[in-house]
Amino acid sequence: MKPQPETNKEHQKHYELLQKIALGDESSLKLLYDEFSTKVFNTAISYLQDISEAEEITQDVFLKIYNSALTFKKKSSVSTWIYRITVNKSLDRIKYYKRKKRISLAASFFIHRDEDELKNVIDILHPGTLQEQKEESKILFAAINKLPDGQKTVFILRHVENLPQKEIADITKLSVKAVESLLQRAKQNLRKELNYIFNNRRKQ
């Protein structure tokens, strides 16, 4: 089931759980985990396209929640805070892999390596994809991967996670207008990229 916007009552409940976690209560962490792990995991998988990487991000996010619960300020909802940690951790991981790829490419000038080792093409299917949409989903995520970070984030949060624009604005610390404009640009770029992929396929 896709996430629904948080009500005030839920917000209060999550905040109380966080306060207990700050005191070291692990059972509260488990309750928060049960509620948010699927959302965190699915957001991470949309970015990284890798199940084990997404699990590692989920683990890192909950460790961060456990260690930083004390510093949480009630400026945003707990859900927004958790999404923000997930987005930042996922983008950091992507940056890390891009850096690693650059270094290995530079090293490949000096050390001969197997070409396959350097290809590292993302070709994994989102586990939630329906059988009849598998091919389309693969193409879509390949195109999403090519978007700049900001556009990628708003597109995933809006169209995969189904979050309202206001919450996306809170997560990304942007205005609602900026989110709207990023979404428009993301869609334009996706259309271009998908067009390019289809044209290439037709030629083959």
Residues within the interface to another protein (CB under 8 A):
1-2, 26, 29-30, 33, 37-39, 41-42, 45, 54-55, 58-59, 62-63, 66-67, 126-130, 133, 136-137, 139-140, 144, 155, 159-160, 162, 187, 190-191, 194-195, 198
Tell me the C-alpha to C-alpha distance, in Å, between residue 115 and each of 49, 105, 106, 108, 176.
22, 10, 13, 9, 44
Smaller CB distance to another protein: residue 101 or 134? 134
Q: How far is the CB of 64 from another protein (least distance, A)?
A: 11
Number of alpha carbons in the 13 Å side-chain half-sphere of residue 84: 17
* Residue 143 contacts residue 122 (beta carbons within 8 Å): no
| Distance in Å, CB of 173 to another protein, minimum | 23
Report the C-alpha gap between 50 and 125 in whole angstroms.
Answer: 8
Which is nearer to another protein, 58 or 172 (by Cβ)? 58
Nearest to 181 by CA among 160, 141, 154: 154
CB-wise, 89 or 126, nearer to another protein? 126
User: Least separation, in Å, of the C-beta of 188 and another protein?
Assistant: 11
Closer to another protein at the Cβ: 65 or 78? 65
Q: How far apart are CA 8 and CA 74, in angstroms?
A: 12
Taking each helix axis from N to C terminus, what angle separates 176-203 and 134-144, rounded to the nearest 10 degrees? 120
Closer of 55 and 108 to another protein (Cβ): 55
Smallest gap from residue 8 Cβ to another protein (A): 24
Choose among 81, 72, 11, 68: nearest CA to 39. 81
Nearest distance from residue 98's CB to another protein, in Å?
Answer: 23
Measured at the alpha carbon of residue 153, what is the angle toward residues 174 and 87, in degrees to the nearest 5?
90
CB of residue 92 vs another protein: minimum separation in angstroms? 18
* Cα–Cα distance for residue pair 70/32, rounded to 1 Å: 15
Judged by beta carbon, residue 98 or residue 128, the one nearer another protein is 128
Rg of the chain, C-alpha, whole Å: 19
